[in-house]
C-alpha cells in the first residue's frame, strides 16, 4: 500500500465526520458491476477486500473507489451500423437519412453493449481527519476529480478546498534552481522540466543530469520556468513537484520500507496495515514541509496544522499513532 502520485486537498478542522458515519454514508453507494445496458459503473469498495469501506489505521482513513467500464469502441459500432445500413439501402432502394443512421447506431450500441468486455480499476484516497488532509492517489487533477465527484454525491457534507500556498510552485522552484539550494529538509535531484512562457511553449527536460550548471541558469534567465522538479525529502522520500502543486513519482526509499517487520510480511492484512501506517506517517511530515517550502498556506486555509505535524514523532509500523497519518507522466 504505497501511493505513487498525490493530489492534495484540504478539509476543515471542524469537519464533523467520524469513521463510523463515513462508513454508513459510503455504504449507500457501494460498487456494483455494470448492468447489461450500462457503459460504466462506479461505487465504493473495501480497500482490504473485506466488508469494511473505511479502512482505519492509527486514526487515518483509507477509501477505495471502484470503476467498471465497458470496452465498446466506436469503430466497432460504426462498422456494424454501416453494414446494416447498406443492407437496408438495398432492400429499400435508397440510402438511410442522417436521422435513420443515428437511430441505427444507437440500436447497434444497445445490442452490442451486453456482449462487450469490461475493465475494472480502483482509486484510493487517504483522509487525515486530524490534520485536515485529503490525498488522492491519481496521476492528474482531472483523474482525481472522479474521486471528489463521487464523494460529493455520497456525503451529506463535503467541505473540500484546494491547497493554496503563498508562493506558487513555479516561482519557488525557479528560486531554488537559480540559487542552487533547496529549502530546509530537501535536496534537489537530477530531473527537471523548464518551459517557456512564450507562445511557442518551448521546453527543456533534464533527466539524470546535474542541475547546478550554467545551462540551467541560462534557461531561467532566458525566461523559461520550471514546471517539474525532482526532490528528496529528509533522505526518505523522493518525488517530483509540479507547477500545479502535484506530487508525482512518489518513492519511499529503503530506509522507510525496511521498517516493515519481517513478521508482517507473512500476513497480507498485517503487511497492508504496516505499509499504510508507514506511508501516512511519512506523508504527515512531507506535506507540511512542502507547504512551508512554498511560503506557508494562504490566509483562510488550515495552516495551523503545520506546526503540529512538524512535531509529530515518526510512525513505526508496529506502533501507529493517531496523529500520523500513474502513466500520464513524461519520463520524470
Determine the average pLDDT of the residues in 258-287: 89
Q: Are residues 301 and 219 in the same domain?
A: yes
Task: Give the pTM.
Answer: 0.81
- Strands lying side by side in the sheet with 237-242: 203-206, 186-196, 224-233, 237-242, 247-252
Q: Which residues form the domain of 106?
A: 74-114
* Cell 530506509 found at: 255
What would the DSSP string read from start to end of 54-109?
Answer: SEEETTEEEEEEEEEEEE--HHHHHHHHHHHHHHHHHHHTS---HHHHHHHHHHHH
Within-domain flag for 327: no
The alpha carbon of 278 is separated from its chain's Cα centroid by a whole number of angstroms, namely: 18
Domain count, the chain: 3
What's the rounded Cα separation, in Å, for the pair 268 and 192?
Answer: 37
Within-domain flag for 103: yes
pLDDT(321) > 70: no
Within-domain flag for 321: no
| Residue 329 binned pLDDT confidence (cut-offs 50, 70, 90) | low
Within-domain flag for 293: yes
Over residues 138-195, the pLDDT tens digits come to: 999 999 999 999 999 999 889 999 999 999 999 999 999 998 899 999 999 999 999 9
Amino acid at each position: 500500500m504505497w501511493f505513487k502520485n498525490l493530489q492534495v486537498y484540504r478539509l476543515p478542522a471542524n469537519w464533523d465526520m467520524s469513521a463510523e458515519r463515513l462508513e454508513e454514508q459510503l455504504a449507500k453507494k457501494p460498487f456494483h458491476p455494470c448492468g447489461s445496458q450500462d457503459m460504466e459503473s462506479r461505487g465504493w469498495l473495501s480497500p482490504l477486500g473485506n466488508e469494511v469501506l473505511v479502512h482505519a489505521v492509527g486514526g487515518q482513513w483509507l477509501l477505495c473507489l471502484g470503476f467498471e467500464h465497458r470496452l465498446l469502441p466506436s469503430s466497432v459500432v460504426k462498422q456494424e451500423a454501416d453494414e446494416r445500413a447498406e443492407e437496408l439501402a438495398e432492400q429499400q432502394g435508397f440510402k438511410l437519412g442522417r436521422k435513420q443512421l443515428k437511430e441505427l447506431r444507437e440500436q447497434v450500441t444497445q445490442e452490442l453493449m451486453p456482449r462487450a468486455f469490461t475493465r475494472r480499476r480502483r482509486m484510493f484516497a487517504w483522509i487525515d481527519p486530524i490534520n485536515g488532509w485529503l490525498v488522492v492517489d491519481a496521476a492528474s487533477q482531472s483523474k482525481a476529480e472522479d474521486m471528489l465527484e463521487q464523494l460529493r454525491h455520497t456525503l451529506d457534507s463535503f467541505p473540500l478546498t484546494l491547497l493554496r500556498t503563498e508562493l506558487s510552485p513555479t516561482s519557488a522552484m525557479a528560486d531554488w534552481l537559480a540559487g542552487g539550494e533547496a529549502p530546509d529538509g530537501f535536496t534537489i535531484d537530477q530531473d527537471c522540466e523548464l518551459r517557456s512562457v512564450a507562445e511557442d511553449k518551448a521546453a527543456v527536460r533534464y533527466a539524470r543530469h546535474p542541475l547546478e550548471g550554467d545551462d540551467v541558469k541560462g534557461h531561467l534567465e532566458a525566461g523559461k520556468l520550471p514546471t517539474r522538479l525532482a526532490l528528496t525529502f529528509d533522505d526518505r522520500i523522493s518525488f517530483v513537484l509540479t507547477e500545479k502543486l502535484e506530487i508525482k513519482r512518489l518513492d519511499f526509499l529503503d530506509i522507510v520500507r525496511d521498517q516493515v517487520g519481517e513478521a508482517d510480511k507473512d500476513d497480507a492484512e498485517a503487511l497492508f496495515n504496516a505499509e499504510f501506517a508507514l506511508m501516512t506517517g511519512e506523508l504527515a511530515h512531507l506535506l507540511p514541509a512542502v507547504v512551508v517550502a512554498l511560503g506557508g498556506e494562504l490566509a483562510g486555509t488550515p495552516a495551523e496544522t503545520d506546526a503540529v505535524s512538524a512535531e509529530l514523532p515518526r510512525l513505526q509500523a508496529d506502533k501507529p499513532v493517531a496523529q500520523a497519518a500513474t502513466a500520464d507522466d513524461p519520463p520524470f
